[in-house]
Structure 1
Amino acid sequence: MEVRVREGDSCAYYGRLFQVPLELIVDSNENINQSDLKTGTKILIPGYVSVPYTINAEDTLWKIGKEKNLSLDAIMVLNQMQNPNQLAPGDTLYLPERITQYHVSSKLPYGSGILTKQIKTLKRLYPFINVDTIGTSVLGSQIQEIRIGKGSKKVHMNASFHANEWITTMVVMSLVNQYLISLTNRSPLRGINTINLYNETELSIVPMVNPDGVDLVLKGPPTNLRQEVMEINDGSDEFVHWKANIRGVDLNNQFPANWEIEQERKIPKSPAPRDYPGRSSLSEPEAKAMADFIKNNQFDRVLAFHTQGEEFYWGYEGFEPPESEILATEFERVSGYKAVRNVDSHAGFKDWYIQEYKRPGFTIELGRGINPLPLSQFHDILKKVEGIFLASLYL
Structure 2
Amino acid sequence: MRKTEFGSKQLGKELERLTGRYSFISAGTIGESLLGKPIPYLKIGEGSFRWHFNGACHANEWITSLLLMRFVEDYANAITRKSTFWGKSAKDLFSRCSLWIVPMVNPDGVELVQRGVTTKHPMYNELLQWNRGSNRFHRWKANARGVDLNDQFPAYWELERQRRGIKGPAPRDFSGPSPLSEPEAAALARFTEQNDFQAVIALHTQGEEIYWNYRNDEPTESKAWAERLAAAAGYRAVYLEGSDAGYKDWFISKFHRPGFTVEAGWGHNPLSMDQFEDIYDDLARLLAEALDCTPQSCFGSEEEG
Q: Same fold (TM over 0.5)?
A: yes
| Distance apart, 1:326 and its partner CA | 1.8
- Give the secondary structure class of the aligned counterpart of 2:262: strand
Task: Verify the 8 A CA contact 1:313 1:343 in the aligned structure 2.
Answer: no
Alignment counterpart, residue 180 of structure 1, candidates 66, 76, 82: 76
One of 246, 250, 253 as aligned partner of 2:144: 246
Distance in 1 separating the partners of 2:163 and 2:243: 11
Percent of aligned positions that are identical: 46
3-state DSSP of counterpart to 1:309: coil
1:324 to 222, 226, 251: 222
Q: Provide the residue aligned with 2:27 in structure 1.
A: 131
Note the C-alpha offset of 1:221. 2.3
SS in 2 for 1:105: coil
11, 27, 46: which is aligned to 1:150?
Answer: 46
**RMSD of Structure 2 on Structure 1 (CA):** 0.9
- Unaligned regions of 5+ residues in structure 1, if any? 1-103
Matched to 2:100, the amino acid is S
Q: How many corresponding residue pairs? A: 291
Structure 2 SS opposite 1:332: helix
Q: Distance in 2 between matches of 1:357 and 1:221?
A: 39
CA distance in 2, matches of 1:246, 1:390: 33
Partner of 2:302: none
| Whole-angstrom CA distance in 2 between matches of 1:142 and 1:170 | 17
Letter in 2 for 1:176: V
TM-score, reference length from structure 1? 0.73
Following superposition, the deviation at residue 314 of structure 1 comes to 0.3
Q: Which residue of 1 aligns with 2:13?
A: 117
- Partner in structure 2 of residue 99 of structure 1: none
Alpha-carbon distance in structure 1 between the residues aligned to 2:285 and 2:97: 16
The within-5 A match list for 1:274-313 is: 274-313=172-211
Query: Partners in 1 of 2:153 and 2:249 — Cα distance?
Result: 8
* Cα shift at 1:225: 1.7
Matched AA of 1:360: P
Q: CA deviation at 1:237?
A: 0.8
Residue of 140, 161, 170 corresponding to 2:36:
140
Report what 1:198 is aligned to.
94
Q: Is the counterpart of residue 105 in structure 1 residue 14 in structure 2?
A: no
Instruction: Give the one of 324, 337, 342 matched to 2:240.
Output: 342
TM-score calculated relative to the size of structure 2: 0.94
Q: 1:233 is matched with which residue?
A: 131
Question: What's the CA shift string for 1:353-381, capped at 9, x where partnerless?
Answer: 00000000000001111111101111111
One-letter code aligned to 2:112:
L
Distance in structure 1 (CA, Å) of the matches to 2:123 and 2:234: 42
Task: Tell me how far 1:219 sits from its aligned partner.
Answer: 1.2
- Partner amino acid, structure 2, of 1:138: L
- How far does residue 122 in structure 1 lie from its aligned partner after superposition? 0.4
| Distance in structure 2 (CA, Å) of the matches to 1:297 and 1:363 | 19
Checking the alignment, whether the CA contact within 8 Å between 2:142 and 2:171 is kept in structure 1 is: yes
Q: Which has the larger radius of gyration?
A: 1
| 2: CA distance, partners of 1:179 / 1:230 | 41
Task: Give the secondary-structure state (helix, strand or coil) at the position aligned to 1:322.
Answer: coil
Structure 2: distance between partners of 1:200 and 1:361: 19
- The answer to which structure, 1 or 2, has the higher relative contact order (CA under 8 A, 6+ apart) is 2
Work out the CA distance in 1 between the residues paired with 2:267 and 2:241: 20
Distance in structure 1 (CA, Å) of the matches to 2:217 and 2:113: 35
How big is each residue's C-alpha offset from its partner over 1:294-329, in whole Å with a ceiling of 9 and x where there is no partner? 111111100000000011100000001011112111
Deviation at 1:235, TM superposition (A): 0.8
The one-letter code of the counterpart of 2:155 is: A
Alignment of 1:212 onto 2:126: no
On the 8 A contact 2:209/2:263 being kept in 1, the answer is: yes
1:166 and 2:36 are equivalent in the alignment: no
> Which of these residues, 148, 153, 157, is aligned with residue 255 of structure 1?
153
Give 3-state SS (helix, strand or coil) of 1:352's partner. helix
Q: Measure the CA separation in 2 of the matches of 1:259 and 1:354.
A: 14
Q: Distance in 1 between matches of 2:65 and 2:190?
A: 21
Q: CA deviation at 1:343?
A: 2.9
